[in-house]
Chains A and B, each alone.
Chain A
């Protein structure tokens, strides 16, 4: 079956612009996660959705970052007034349910470059 997909695969933008990154999870997965992977680092947690609600957004670095999942499936990560430090690969993952003993299935990521 289809895995997690993310669009676009690459996004180049200028400092100060607004960007949206999209994630299509595996069909039927209720849990969805966003992670950010900076160069030379492992992924860092940003936000977790269970269904339509953000159960934990403690990893979002500041209020320029926001994510939605209005119908409990597709999610969009939104970044306002982008800064060069936002450049990273943004990974989306989904799992059948939430919880720690569940495999998270990752998408290929969106590489964001802020010039």
Chain B
């Protein structure tokens, strides 16, 4: 079964600074990888996904993520954060023969002025 680890529970970053959120997955075959963002009172919104091909994936809101098979990682990055990026971020893994997503515990991002 697949699993996801997000090592950082909480990250504080200054507005305008860069952000990187870590995600490590465990899965025997090629995974399908997702990053979702959850703002208070809102549902999960998909930021980006990786299925195959180019390992650097561009998403919405200026986010990108890089799939590194050798490190079993799919880290999320943003070059310059905005106050509106304060939220909780979840990495998830799926599989070609499965439909359920396995989520990490999430990373809460606080943006300070």
Contacts and interface: CB of A to CB of B under 8 A. Distances in A.
Contacts of B51: 101
Give the interface size bracket for B toward A: 20 to 34
Contacts of B44: 43, 91, 93, 106
Given A3-B43, A106-B43, A108-B43, A100 B90 contact: no
A52 B96 CA distance: 22
Given A43-B44, A106-B43, A107-B43, A56 B99 contact: yes
B42 A108 contact: yes
A44 B103 contact: yes
B101 A45 contact: yes
Interface residues of A, number: 29
B89 to A, nearest CB: 10
A103 B102 CA distance: 13
Contacts of A93: 44
Contacts of A44: 103
Contact of B100 (A40, A59, A106): A59
A99 B96 contact: yes
Interface in B27-62: 32, 34, 36, 41-46, 49, 51
A68 to B, nearest CB: 19
A91 B36 CA distance: 14
B43 A99 contact: no
B104 A100 contact: no
Given A100-B95, A101-B32, A101-B94, A45 B100 contact: yes
Interface of A: 3-4, 31, 33, 35, 40-45, 48, 55-56, 59, 91, 93, 98-109
Interface of B: 4, 6, 32, 34, 36, 41-46, 49, 51, 90, 92, 94-106
